[in-house]
Amino acid sequence: MNGSILLLLCLLLSTSRGEEEKDTLQTSRTSLTLKSQEMSCPEAADIMPCVCKHEEALSLECSGVADEAQLRQVFRAYFPTTAFYEFYMDGNKGVRVLEDGVFGSVSFQVLQVLNSALETVRDDALTPSLRTLTHINVADSPLAVFPFHRLQEFTLLGSMSLLNCDVHSLPPLSSASLKHLYLNANSISHLTPDVFSLLTAVQNIDLTENHLTDIETGKWSRCTHFRENLLR
C-alpha cells in the first residue's frame, strides 16, 4: 500500500516536541552549570580544529575536522575536565564513522551531528557517555548504522532524534528512560510487533515520512502506554 496509513498502534502523536525538548535541555544545562566554575577547556592549540566553549557549560564544536583520524587525535589531547555538556558537529563532510573509542574518556550529555556525512556509529563510540547522555540528535545525514541494541545502557537518555537519515530497520528497542523517539524521514519499511514494547517510559514516537507498507500488529494490543500515530 503506497499512501498514508493511519494505524492505532498505541503510539502517542508528538504534537509538542519543541517545548518538551526545550524544557528538558534547559534542565540538563542548568544542572551542569552549577559545577561549571570548576571546569576548564583544554589548550586551544591541542584540540584544533575543534573549539571548546565555556559559557554556561562546557561544549565542544568539531565541525571543521578533516576526517576520523583528526577527530581521534583531538581526544588524545589533555582534557582537564572530561565531563562536557555537548558535542556539536554541523556541516562536516569528512567524518563518516564515529569509531570505537573516538572520544577517549570524554563524556557528553548532548550529542548533535547535523548536515554531515556520518554513516555509522560504532558499538563503543559512545561508551564514555553511557551514564551521561540525555539527548542524541543526528539530522540530515546518511546515518544507517547505530548501536540500537545498547539503548538500554544509556540510563539517562530521554530523547533520541535521527531525522532525515538512512535507517532501514529497527531491532527490538529497550529503555527505561527514553521518552521521545523521532525517526522521521528515514527508510524504514517494516516493524515487528515487539519493536517498541520494552520502551517502558516512552511518550512520543514519530515515524512520519518513512516507507511503512506492512506492519505486524499482533502484539500492539498489549501496549498500554501509547496511543495513536500517523505513519507515512
pLDDT, tens only, 95-133 = 999 999 999 999 999 999 999 999 999 999 999 999 999
The domain containing residue 171 runs over which residues?
5-231
Ramachandran angles phi, psi of 89, nearest 5°: -145, 120
From CA 153, how far away is CA 8, in angstroms rounded? 30
What CATH number is associated with residue 58?
3.80.10.10
From CA 187, how far away is CA 211, in angstroms rounded? 6
**How many structural domains compose the chain?**
1
- Coil, strand or helix: which one is 59? strand
| pLDDT at residue 4 greater than cutoff 50 | no
- Coil, strand or helix: which one is 206? strand
Residue 182's H or E segment, with its range, is strand 180-182
- Coil, strand or helix: which one is 225? coil
pLDDT above 70 covers a percentage of the chain that reads 75
From CA 183, how far away is CA 166, in angstroms rounded? 10
**pTM for this entry:** 0.81
Tell me the C-alpha to C-alpha distance, in Å, between residue 153 and each of 5, 36, 88, 176: 33, 26, 22, 9
From CA 115, how far away is CA 184, in angstroms rounded? 15
